[in-house]
Amino acid sequence: MKFSNKTYDTLKWVILTVAPALMTLVSALGVLYGWQNTELTVAVIGAITTFLGTITGVSSVKYNQNK
């Protein structure tokens, strides 16, 4: 799977910046406010982030092979 430069840059920003910040925010607020299933929510965000990181990495490898 190949992504355009804009898509790749957006995914990379989400994976490296937004998702970890969101996980930290949900985790901290969940503890402070006693939200139920905070751990589950953080785990789901982490799993999605890992999936996106993997497909982005595969795209990057394919792009660099075709240069």
More confident residue, 33 or 65: 33
List the end-to-end C-alpha distance of the chain, in Å, as a whole number. Answer: 15
More confident residue, 14 or 1: 14
- Give me the numbers of helices (H) and strands (E) for the chain, helices first please: 3, 0
52: left (phi over 0), alpha (psi -120 to 50) or beta: alpha
More confident residue, 19 or 56: 19
**Beta strands, E only, 1-67:** none
pLDDT of residue 4: 84
Report CA Rg, the chain: 15
For residues 46-50, give the mean pLDDT.
97
Residue 15: how many CB atoms within 10 A of its CB?
20
pLDDT of residue 1: 64
Question: Residue 40: pLDDT above 90?
Answer: yes
Domain positions in the chain? 5-65
